[in-house]
Amino acid sequence: MPEFSTATGTIYYEVVASSSGPDAPTLTLLHNFMSAGRAAWGALLPALSEHYRILLPDTPGHGRSLGHPKDFDHREIAEQLAALMVAEHAEDGHLAGCSSGGMIAQQLVHLRLVRPATLTLVSTTYSVNPHTTGNAIGLRTEDFDASPNWLEATARLHDPYHYDGYYHSELLPAFRQLTPATAIDLPLEALTAFRMPVCVIHGSRDEFFPTYIAEEMATAAPLGELHIVAGQRHALLFRQPWRVAQIMLEFLARHDSAATQS
């Protein structure tokens, strides 16, 4: 995997060539907290790479990437990923993020670190502050409806590249200690400044972020559209990757001209 040096470590990433040729627009994919690039997006890559060159990082402190900003501060992570995107000529391509990756993607846009042609937000929120959103549900791993052995499986994504026990001693506690200041706390009005087309994809039974949050986000973005996947919970990438890929491809196909004209 290529590597990119930052002030706090090294980001490892993949560039997946498009089968449509070297002139394909770039699509940057950001994974959720405690996952890794290919672990989260791998099932979608065959379909997405037919039309797009894929930039797929392991975000700082995750997977193969070593080192991270203090408290996994999402603004600082966004700054580091923006530098990577510029180095890979992806700053004006398409951008997508799931859960924490969607928060970082919004920071990238809000802070004007990149200017993506489109923005896709999967299973995410614009704020984890209950005073901002009215959502009192916390980010607790105990509330995540996953397979019984998901914690052990997730540890295997990280420990081999760090040290035995890294996931349980560092990454999992960091997730539990995320705050609005270190994750995201945008006012809803911030999304009104997102001038690119925005696709919001959300499960109707999301454990962390009720559907009204997704509805608010899609309404606030001037070129927003909303896709609620019935009966599905958080982290749709792992539950119905084929459905997410279908929605994304249809959305991106309608807006490819934005990337080629920028």
**b vs e for 106-120, b when ≥16 Cβ sit within 10 Å of the residue's Cβ?**
bbbbbeebbebbbbb
Rg of the chain on CA atoms, in Å: 17
pLDDT value, residue 1? 82
Q: How many domains is the chain built from?
A: 1
pLDDT value, residue 146? 58
CATH of the domain at 51: 3.40.50.1820
pLDDT value, residue 262? 40
Tens of pLDDT, residues 15-60: 999 999 999 999 999 999 999 999 999 999 999 999 999 999 999 9
pLDDT value, residue 261? 41
pLDDT value, residue 151? 82
- Give the domain extent around 137: 3-256
pLDDT at 125 over 70: yes
Which residues does residue 127 pair with via DSSP β-bridges, in sequence order?
185
Please state the pTM of the whole predicted model. Answer: 0.95
Count how many Cα atoms sit within 13 Å of the Cα of residue 211 in the half-sphere of its side chain: 13
Q: Give the separation between CA 77 and CA 69, rounded to whole angstroms.
A: 7
Per the domain annotation, does 262 fall within a domain? no
Per the domain annotation, does 45 fall within a domain? yes
**Residue from 126, 217, 122, 119 nearest 180 by CA:** 126
pLDDT value, residue 139? 72
Per the domain annotation, does 183 fall within a domain? yes
pLDDT at 260 over 60: no
pLDDT at 148 over 80: no
pLDDT confidence bin for 149, thresholds 50/70/90: confident
Q: Give the separation between CA 156 and CA 166, rounded to whole angstroms.
A: 10
Q: What are 226's two structure tokens?
A: 């909303």
pLDDT value, residue 245? 98
Per the domain annotation, does 53 fall within a domain? yes
How many CB atoms within 10 Å of residue 95? 31
Q: Give the separation between CA 129 and CA 29, rounded to whole angstroms.
A: 25
Q: Are 122 and 102 in contact (CB under 8 A)?
A: yes
Per the domain annotation, does 193 fall within a domain? yes
The residue ranges of DSSP E strands in 141-233, in sequence order, are 198-203, 224-229
Per the domain annotation, does 222 fall within a domain? yes
Per the domain annotation, does 261 fall within a domain? no
Average pLDDT, the chain: 94
